[in-house]
Amino acid sequence: MKSPEIIADAQETKGDFRYALNYSLDAGQGLSHATLDYISDAKGEEPWIRRWRHEALDIFLQKTMPWEWAPAVLRDLRFEDFHYYLAQGTESRQSWEEVSPEVKRTFERLGIPEQEQKFLAGVEAQFDSEAAYARIQERLQAQGVIFVSSSEGLARYPEIFRPHFGQIVPVGDNKFSALNSAVFSGGSFIYVPPGLKVSQPLQAYFRINAENFGQFERTLIVVGEGAEVSYMEGCTAPSSSKAMLHSAVVELVVLPHAKLQYISVQNWSRNVFNLVTKRGVAHEGAEIRWIDCNIGSKLTMKYPCILLQGERARGEVLSIAVAREGQWQDTGAKMIHLGRHTSSQIISKSISLGSGIASARNFVDIRPADGQCQNHTQCDALLLNARSCSATFPTLRIHGHRNCVQHEASVSKISEEQLFYLQQRGIPHAQALSLSVNGFVNELLREFPMEYGVELKRLIELEVEGAVG
Amino acid sequence: MDSGLRIRGLSLQVEEKIVLRDFSLEVPGGEMHALLGPNGAGKSSLSKAIAGHPDYRILQGDISFDGNPLCGQSPDHIARMGIFLAFQNPVEIEGLSVANFLRAAIQARQGPGERFSATEFYAHLYRCLDALSLERAFSARSLNVGFSGGEKKRCELLQLLLLRPRFALLDEIDSGLDADATKMMAHSLDELRKESGMGGLIITHHPSLLQYLRPDRLHILLNGRIVRSGHEELIEHIEHSGYSSFASP
C-alpha cells in the first residue's frame, strides 16, 4: 500500500496539513433535496430521519440570514460552493489499526491516540462527514456509558436519542440549525447512566480535510440524574484559499443534580465559517459549565446557551477569544433562567490583534417572579493594536423582582510602560507582548484541563508573537 | 580603557520638553556614583533615556556602555548588555507571576543551544527571596499587583539580585522603605557588588540614603546639568543649605 501523501503542510500550527483522498461517498457540490436523499441513502436511514431532513431543508430555505446584526463578513458565505457530505465509509472503527492510513496518520499527527492512552476515558474522531474511530474504556461501557457517533446513536439507541433530538435546539431555531438538521452527519452521542461519575474526560475531535467542504456534526449528551461527566472537543482544518463551513448543533440534557462540563477548543484554519448552535438544559440542582476557547476560523458565531429549567440549577460559560488579522470572533453566552433560585455566571475575555474583531453578545433572561435568581457577567477585552476592534452587546431581560444581576465590561490596552518594564529585563518586544497577553487570560486558562491549558497557552503565544513579529 | 558608563553632551527631549542640556557624566567600570538633585531636575529622565525608553528623544550627544553605543538600541538589547533599571514606580501586570516573569528574563539572556534548568532557577530564586526576607509564595503573586510600596522596592531588588547586571540604575530605591529595610537593601547591594563588581548610579533627591550605600562619587544635578561633583562633603552641604545653594548666580 502506498503511504499517505501530504499535499499541504505548513509549520504554523500542527493542524495545518492535508492528505489527498478519494472519497467513495460524495453528495456533490451544492445543496438540494437530492443531496439529502444521497446522505440518507448512504447512511441507510429510517424514513422518519429522511423526512426530518427534507422538512429541515424547507425551513432553511424559508429562513432569512440574520443580516440586521450578523458580522458583515458573513456575506462572503456562498452555500452553493460546498460539498455537504464527503466520506470514505459510514462506519467508525474501534481500533486505530482498522482506520484507513491517511485518516489514522492525520489523527496521529494531531496527537489523538496518544492523548487517548494518557488521560481520556473515550475518544471519537471525525474525519470530514463521518466518525472514523470511536471507542470508550470497556469498564465504562460495562457500566452503561454510551459514547458513539450520533448516526450510530440514532440507529442503536432511538429510545434515548429520539425523545431529545431537536427538542433543545429546534430545527427552526435559526437558519444554521435548520441547515444542520437537513444535512447533519457525525457528531457524538453520549449517555451517562444515573449516579455514575466519570472521572476522566471523553473527547471528540473534528477534522476537516477536504476543500470546499461543510461539516455538520450533531451532538447530543444526556447525563442521568446525579451523574457527572466532562466532554472535550477539539477541531482543526488545513488552511486553504477556498472556504469551508462548519455548522454544528449541540444539545445537552443534564438531569436533576447531574453535572456536565463541556470544553471546546476551536482552532479552525482561517478559511472556515464556524456557525454553530449550542444549547443545554439544566434540570433541578443540575450544573452545566461551558468552557470555550475560540482561536481559529474566519468568522465564528457561537453563543452557548443554558436553559436553567429546574430550581437551583447552575450554569457557567467561561470563554476566551483571540481575533487576529482578518478574523472575526462573534461569541457570547445566553443564560435563560426559568427555575427559581437558579444562578449563572458568564466570564469572557477577548484579545484582538491587527485588524481582528472580537465581539461579545451576552444575553441574560430571568423569567421567574420572586425568583431569587442570580447572574454575574463579566466581559474583558484586550486590544493590541490601534486597528484592533472589540465590541460588547449585552442584553439583560429581568422580569419579576428579587432577582440579582451584575454586568461588568472592560476594555484595556497593554501600555507602553508595561512593555518597557518587561523589555528592561531583557525580554524582547514580541515576547513581552505575549507575556502580558498570557497574564490577561491566565486565570481562565487554568479552568481548562492541564493538557489543554498548556497547548492553549502555546497557541496564544504563537498568535501574538506571529502577529507582531 | 572604555569600561563603564559614559554620557557625552547629551540633550534630551520628552514630549515637548527639553529635560537635559549638554549633560555629561562618566561612571568608570565597577564604580558606584550618586546623582542628586531636587524633584524635576531630570534624574528619572536620564535613567529612562539610558535604558532606551522610546518616549525619550536624544537630540544631541551620545551614551555608551563599555565602549558600545546605547543610542538607537532597543530596551531589551540594552538590558541584555547588562544595564538594569530599578524603577521608581514599577508597573503592575495582572496574571503574570513574579516567577514566570523572572524565568522569561533569564531565558532571554541565554545563548542559542544553552539549556534552561528549572531546578537551578528555582534554587537561585529561593536564595534571593531568602536574602530579602521574602516568603516563597511571593514569587507566585502577579507582578507588582497589590504590592505595598516596600514590596515593590524589594521586588525590584529581587530582580536585580537574580539577573546580576553589570550596571544598576537605582532610581529612588529607598522611597517607601523604613530605615531597617533600607539597611538590608544596602547590605544586599554591597554583597552583590563585592561578588560581581557591579557598578551603578544611585538616583535620589534624598541624601540620607547615601550613608548606607556609600557611593564612590557624587554629582549634583540642577536644571538639566551637573553643577558640582565631589564626595561625601556634598551631602552635608545639601543637608545644611539645600540644592538651591548650588545654583549658579
Burial of residue B27 (number of CB atoms within 10 Å: 0-12, 13-18, 19+): buried
> How confident is the model at residue B248, as a pLDDT?
64
pLDDT(B221) > 80: yes
Residues forming beta bridges with residue A255, ordered by sequence position: none
Q: How much is the pTM?
A: 0.83
- With an 8 Å Cβ cutoff, is A438 touching chain B? yes
Question: What value does the mean pLDDT take over residues B118-137?
Answer: 93
- Asked whether residue B105 is domain-assigned, the answer is no
- Asked whether residue B62 is domain-assigned, the answer is yes
Which amino acid, residue A205? Y
Q: Which residue has the higher pLDDT, A463 or B155?
A: B155
Cβ neighbours of A416 in B, within 8 Å: 54-55
- Asked whether residue B215 is domain-assigned, the answer is yes
Length of chain A: 469
Cβ neighbours of B78 in A, within 8 Å: 424
| Cβ-contact A132, A103 below 8 angstroms | yes
Mean pLDDT of chain A: 91
| Cβ-contact B218, B209 below 8 angstroms | no
Cβ neighbours of B159 in A, within 8 Å: 425
Q: State the DSSP H helix or E strand holding residue A336, giving kind and residue range, or none if neither.
A: strand A334-337
- Asked whether residue B197 is domain-assigned, the answer is yes
A261-295 pLDDT per residue, tens: 999 999 999 999 999 999 999 999 999 999 999 99
Cβ neighbours of A420 in B, within 8 Å: 51, 53-54, 75
pLDDT(A10) > 80: no
Please tell me whether residue B192 adopts helix, strand or coil conformation: helix
Contacts of A62-65 spanning 24+ positions with Cβ under 8 A: A63/A172, A63/A174, A63/A175, A63/A178, A64/A175, A65/A175
| Cβ-contact B65, B73 below 8 angstroms | no
Length of chain B: 249
B19-58 pLDDT per residue, tens: 999 999 999 999 999 999 888 888 889 999 999 999 999 9
Question: What value does the mean pLDDT take over residues A128-135?
Answer: 91
Residue of B85, B93, B161 for testing the chain A interface, max A β-carbons within 10 Å: B93
| Cβ-contact B105, B93 below 8 angstroms | no
Backbone region of residue A128 per phi and psi (left: phi > 0; alpha: psi in -120 to 50; beta: other values): left
Q: How is chain A split among helix, strand and coil, in percent rounded to 5? A: 25, 35, 35
Question: What value does the mean pLDDT take over residues B202-227?
Answer: 87
- Asked whether residue B33 is domain-assigned, the answer is yes
> A422 and B51: CB-CB below 8 Å?
no
> How confident is the model at residue B82, as a pLDDT?
96
> How confident is the model at residue A327, as a pLDDT?
94
Please tell me whether residue A450 adopts helix, strand or coil conformation: helix
Q: State the DSSP H helix or E strand holding residue B19, giving kind and residue range, or none if neither.
A: strand B17-28
- With an 8 Å Cβ cutoff, is B93 touching chain A? yes
CA distance A390 to A329: 10
- Asked whether residue B240 is domain-assigned, the answer is yes
Total domains in chain B come to 1
Of B99, B45, B53, the residue nearest B72 (C-alpha): B53
Please identify among residues 127-186 of chain B the ones whose CB lies closer than 8 Å to any CB of chain A: 142-143, 159, 163
| Closest residue in B to A415 (Cα–Cα) | B91
Of A32, A50, A51, the residue nearest A42 (C-alpha): A50
- The cell numbers describing A94, all together, are 474501534
Domain residues for the domain of B66 are 4-93+164-246
- With an 8 Å Cβ cutoff, is B76 touching chain A? yes
Please identify among residues 280-339 of chain A the ones whose CB lies closer than 8 Å to any CB of chain B: none
Residue A8 pLDDT level (bands cut at 50, 70, 90) = very low
A367-397 pLDDT per residue, tens: 998 889 999 999 999 998 888 889 999 999 9
- Asked whether residue B220 is domain-assigned, the answer is yes
Q: Indicate the range of A49-53, A81-85, A416-420, B242-246 predicted with least confidence.
A: B242-246
Residue A403 pLDDT level (bands cut at 50, 70, 90) = very high
Q: State the DSSP H helix or E strand holding residue A462, giving kind and residue range, or none if neither.
A: helix A450-468
- The cell numbers describing A382, all together, are 484586550
Q: Which of A249-263, A350-364, B31-45 has the highest mean pLDDT?
A: A249-263
Backbone region of residue A257 per phi and psi (left: phi > 0; alpha: psi in -120 to 50; beta: other values): left
Mean pLDDT of chain B: 91
| Closest residue in B to A446 (Cα–Cα) | B95
- Asked whether residue B158 is domain-assigned, the answer is no
Produce one character per residue of B178-207: b if its CB has 16 or more CB atoms within 10 Å, e if not.
Answer: eeebbebbbebbeebbeeeebbbbbbbbeb
CA distance A457 to A322: 12
User: What are the residue boundaries of the structural domains of chain A, listed by start?
Assistant: 6-302, 415-469
CA distance B169 to B97: 24
pLDDT(B207) > 70: yes
Question: What value does the mean pLDDT take over residues A11-37?
Answer: 86
Question: What value does the mean pLDDT take over residues A101-105?
Answer: 91
A233-249 pLDDT per residue, tens: 999 898 888 999 999 99
Q: Indicate the range of A14-18, A214-218, B72-76, B168-172 predicted with least confidence.
A: A14-18
> How confident is the model at residue B206, as a pLDDT?
78
> How confident is the model at residue A9, as a pLDDT?
35
pLDDT(B162) > 60: yes
> How confident is the model at residue A191, as a pLDDT?
97
CA distance B50 to B68: 12
> B79 and A424: CB-CB below 8 Å?
yes
Query: What's the CATH code of the domain at B183?
Result: 3.40.50.300
Q: What is the CA radius of gyration of chain A?
A: 22
A164-208 pLDDT per residue, tens: 999 999 999 999 999 999 999 999 999 999 999 999 999 999 999
A304-316 pLDDT per residue, tens: 999 999 999 999 9
Cβ neighbours of B163 in A, within 8 Å: 425-426
| Closest residue in A to B109 (Cα–Cα) | A426
Residue A39 pLDDT level (bands cut at 50, 70, 90) = very high
| Cβ-contact A386, A356 below 8 angstroms | no
> B54 and A441: CB-CB below 8 Å?
no
- With an 8 Å Cβ cutoff, is B11 touching chain A? no
- The cell numbers describing A299, all together, are 468568522
Find where cell 555608551 sits.
B64
Least Cα separation, residue B26 to chain A (angstroms): 22
Cβ neighbours of A440 in B, within 8 Å: 94-95
Cβ neighbours of A422 in B, within 8 Å: 93, 101, 104
